[in-house]
Amino acid sequence: MRTERAVGATAIALVVSVVIQNVVLASGAPTYSDPMTQVLTFHSEHRGLVTLAVGLEALNVPLLLGFVTGLHGLVTRRGRSGLGGSRLAVAAAATASSGFVLYAVLWMGVVLSARDLTAPTDTLEVIWRMHAAAFGFALAALGATFAGAAWAASASGLTRGWQRALGLFGGGLMLVAGVASGAVAQGSSIIFLGVAGLAAWLVWLLVTGIRLVRVRAIGRSGHPVAVLSKA
């Protein structure tokens, strides 16, 4: 039971970190379709907020890897059902982590480039567009992580069937956005499909985390067995 609760707590911690990251940037953060003057103004005036958001990305990466690794261990203990999905989730999460690291580093590059500028430059725009493209590629890998983890958790009895459907749907949305990374880099609104998939991922993580944290010990023969609460 301790393993289930540790994995569940990691999932909840990842949700909290991502939510805080987005709340920090909720005040006027530019979208990828906004003009570069707005991008420059925001990053010049909110260097501290962006630095904090980048720092939280450094926390999100180990939380993501810890969750999928722990989930793989739980699935393995329950037999071969869902093992392929959990392997996909682990591999895709490692790829997504690399993408999010590049995304964060380029984002910090935007902040550093904007520090002494009074008007947008070609260099600033290139870094910003690369930052957007890295986000798109990371979303694609995260979508594969979501689909694999949701399939594995459902097949092994850790989650309900509707959560698998949510995983496949949300993961598919992120994959679509990732395939269109070139368009995302140019400010296409297709990024909002990926954002919707990301929201579904957070919902799935939260529900799954709560289920795993609430495991209880019951056994018909009197021996303690870890089972999931139906709530």
pLDDT along the chain (231 residues), means of 10: 89 95 83 91 88 90 96 87 91 95 94 87 93 94 96 92 94 94 89 94 96 64 41 42
Q: Name the pTM for this structure.
A: 0.88
Lookup: tokens for 158: 């850790």
| Domain membership of residue 97 as a residue range | 2-227
| Chain mean position to CA 80 | 26
The count of domains in the chain is 1
Rg (CA), the chain: 19
Q: How many residues make up the chain in this entry?
A: 231
Which residue intervals of the chain are DSSP H helices? 2-24, 36-45, 47-77, 83-114, 122-155, 161-179, 181-185, 191-213
CB 86 within 8 A of CB 65: no
What are residue 226's DSSP bridge partners?
Answer: 217
Between CA 165 and CA 93 the distance in angstroms is 19
Q: How many CB atoms lie within 10 A of CB 50?
A: 20
- H or E segment to which residue 226 belongs: strand 226-227
For the CA atoms of 4, 194, 114, 95, the dihedral, rounded to the nearest 10 degrees, stands at 50
For helices 122-155 and 47-77, what crossing angle results, to 10°?
A: 20
Q: What's the confidence (pLDDT) of residue 228?
A: 54
For 31, residues 6+ apart whose C-beta sits below 8 A from its C-beta are 187, 191
pLDDT at 219: 34
For 84, the token pair is 């392929």
pLDDT at 1: 62
Tokens of 33: 């379709």
